[in-house]
């Protein structure tokens, strides 16, 4: 995996690291320590504002300020190049995190006492992403990718939640025969085309496939990925009459108002759906990807992790804020407001909409998102969207392989 050591690209990362200066926050005229908390989720800004206000009140000598810009990952990368790294960073377990995690930007948090409270499966996901044993990110909140369904429609059509792929397709056919749209597909937004891929690939091919692809031991043209592609195509006939003309916002409203029985989405969409219809009887099940129901895993990744800048002058105060965020009361408040799942053990998500997912968390039947292991420069979303429009699985897998190789060669 040494060949996969990642770089920031246009900027010379080595130069950045050698000249990295302290963060812009610090001791001010008011005698308080000012800390910047930079996080990437606009929908979570309100939740973090509440927690920050509570922390600042309990810690009068520290002032935490939240930064939440549009296109946050790009802003963060730009700031890193300019040696302006925020004290604390909240972000998803993405390719950007992997790049920064391997580059010495984040402090190693090994030995912190609260690590014993973090779900080790999510910790391992971060280590797999960076290919390192250093602990430079603390999993905070997780999400889930699967199938939402309208319980009222299922009850009316006398349908049971499918447990296998064949049952899944049978349910879709029954719904269609009843004159109801089985899936409201929102493939005008390319990122939504990748949601089914993210469920199929980790379950059918396994995350190890992507780790082996880094070392050039496997190819996307291997038969196991052909099955992933074929199943992604199989859903299309059960969508709307305009699968590539509907957006994520369209889907949230339409599904909320009963225009489809099922919705391929993530748990992050639940608050938006409820804004459109607070009374919807919403259910959520893990995508049944194969023939063995017991082998099926829920796709759940680190939606928000917390990292501390290696360059911060206020590590002690930064760690105090992180410790505050993972206190039971505070993480419980966050996941309730965000319909997320706690990476802190012992804190359950009690929303009835996702009750059917809890057994997967209890038993550890979880697997990470496939696209967390695919470099952003590969542009997976647009590749999947183009593939679904054209229907040529062979061409898609060949192109995915070639784009991966191009990016890998640039990073080697």
On the CB side of 39, CA atoms within 13 Å amount to 23
Read off the pLDDT band of 368 (50, 70, 90).
very high
* pLDDT reported for residue 28: 65
pLDDT digits (tens, 9 = 90+) for 248-262: 999 999 999 999 999
Q: What percentage of the chain exceeds 90 in pLDDT?
A: 78
Instruction: Tell me the backbone φ, ψ of residue 95, rounded to 5 degrees.
Output: -60, -35
* pLDDT reported for residue 99: 87
HEC letters along the chain: CHHHCCCCCCCCHHHHHHHCCCCCCCECCCCCEEEEEEECCHHHHHHHHHHHHHHHHHCCCEEEEEECCCCHHHHHHHHHHCCCCCCEEEECCCHHHHHHHCCCCECCCCCCHHHHHECHHHHHHHHHHHCCCCCCCEEEEECCEEEEEEHHHHHHCCCCCCCCHHHHHHHHHHHHHCCCCCECCCCCCHHHHHHHHHHHHHHHCCHHHHHHHHCCCCCCCCHHHHHHHHHHHHCHHHCCCCCCCCCHHHHHHHHHCCCCCEEEEEHHHHHHHHHHCCCCCEEEECCCCCCCHHHCCEECCEEEEEEEECCCCCHHHHHHHHHHHCCHHHHHHHHHHHCCEECECCCCCCCHHHHHHHHHHHHCCEECCHHHHCCHHHCHHHHHHHHHHHCCHHHHHHHHHHHHHHHHHHHC
* pLDDT reported for residue 11: 38
* pLDDT reported for residue 244: 97
Q: Which of 199, 210, 246, 244 is nearest to 378 (CA)?
A: 210
Domain positions in the chain: 2-142+301-343, 145-299+371-411
Instruction: Tell me the backbone φ, ψ of residue 21, rounded to 5 degrees.
Output: -105, 175
Read off the pLDDT band of 398 (50, 70, 90).
very high
| Range ranked top by mean pLDDT from 83-92, 129-138, 370-379 | 83-92
Q: What percentage of the chain exceeds 70 in pLDDT?
A: 92
Cβ-Cβ contacts under 8 Å for 408 (sequence gap 6 or more): 3, 4, 214, 216, 375
Contact 310, 105 (CB under 8 A): yes
β-pair partners for 149: 262, 283
Homologous superfamily of the 2-142+301-343 domain (CATH):
Periplasmic binding protein-like II (3.40.190.10)
* pLDDT reported for residue 362: 83
Q: Which of 74, 79, 99, 125 is nearest to 311 (CA)?
A: 79
User: Looking at the predicted structure, is the pLDDT value of residue 84 above 80?
Assistant: yes
Six token digits for residue 268: 């992050």
The stretch 239-250 carries a mean pLDDT of: 96
Number of residues that make up the chain: 412
Read off the pLDDT band of 43 (50, 70, 90).
confident
Fold match between domain 2-142+301-343 and domain 145-299+371-411: yes
Read off the pLDDT band of 83 (50, 70, 90).
very high
* pLDDT reported for residue 410: 77
Selecting from 3.40.605.10, 3.40.47.40, 3.40.190.10, 3.40.50.300, what CATH number does the domain 145-299+371-411 have? 3.40.190.10
Cβ-Cβ contacts under 8 Å for 36 (sequence gap 6 or more): 23, 24, 25, 64, 65, 67, 86, 87, 88
The stretch 232-243 carries a mean pLDDT of: 96
């Amino acid at each position: 995996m040494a060949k996969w050591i990642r770089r920031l690209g246009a900027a010379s990362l080595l130069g950045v690291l050698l000249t990295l200066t302290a963060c812009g926050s610090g001791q001010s005229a008011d005698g308080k320590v000012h800390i910047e908390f930079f996080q990437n989720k606009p929908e979570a800004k309100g939740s973090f504002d509440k927690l920050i206000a509570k922390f600042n009140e309990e810690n009068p000598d520290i002032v935490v300020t939240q930064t939440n810009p549009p296109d946050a990952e790009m802003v963060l990368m730009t700031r890193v190049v300019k040696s302006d790294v925020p004290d604390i960073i909240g972000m998803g377990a993405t390719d950007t995190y992997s790049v920064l995690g391997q580059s010495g930007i984040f402090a190693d948090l090994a030995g912190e006492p609260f690590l014993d409270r973090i779900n080790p499966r999510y910790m391992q996901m971060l280590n797999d992403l960076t290919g390192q044993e250093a602990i430079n990110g603390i999993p905070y909140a997780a999400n889930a990718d699967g199938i939402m369904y309208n319980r009222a429609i299922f009850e009316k059509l006398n349908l049971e939640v499918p447990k296998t792929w064949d049952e899944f397709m049978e349910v879709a056919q029954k719904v269609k025969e009843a004159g109801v749209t089985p899936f409201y597909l929102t493939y005008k937004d390319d990122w939504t085309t990748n949601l089914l891929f993210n469920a199929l690939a980790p379950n059918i091919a396994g995350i190890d496939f992507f780790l082996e692809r880094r070392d050039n031991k496997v190819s996307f043209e291997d038969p196991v990925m052909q099955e992933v592609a074929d199943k992604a195509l199989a859903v299309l006939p059960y969508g709307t009459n305009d699968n590539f003309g509907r957006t994520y916002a369209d889907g949230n409203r339409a599904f909320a108002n009963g225009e489809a029985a099922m919705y391929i989405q993530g748990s992050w969409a639940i608050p938006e759906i409820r804004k459109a219809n607070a009374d919807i009887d919403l259910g959520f099940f893990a995508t049944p990807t194969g023939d063995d129901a017991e082998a099926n895993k829920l796709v759940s990744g680190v939606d928000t992790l917390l990292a501390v800048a290696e360059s911060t002058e206020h590590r002690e105060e930064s760690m105090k804020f992180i410790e505050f965020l993972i206190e039971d009361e505070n993480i419980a408040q966050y996941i309730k407001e965000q319909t997320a799942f706690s990476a802190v053990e012992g804190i359950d998500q009690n929303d009835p909409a996702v009750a059917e997912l809890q057994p997967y968390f209890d038993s550890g039947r979880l697997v990470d998102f496939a696209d967390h292991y695919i470099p952003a420069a590969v542009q997976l979303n647009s590749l999947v969207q183009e593939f679904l429009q054209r229907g040529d699985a062979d061409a898609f897998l060949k192109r995915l392989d070639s784009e991966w190789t191009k990016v890998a060669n640039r990073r080697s």
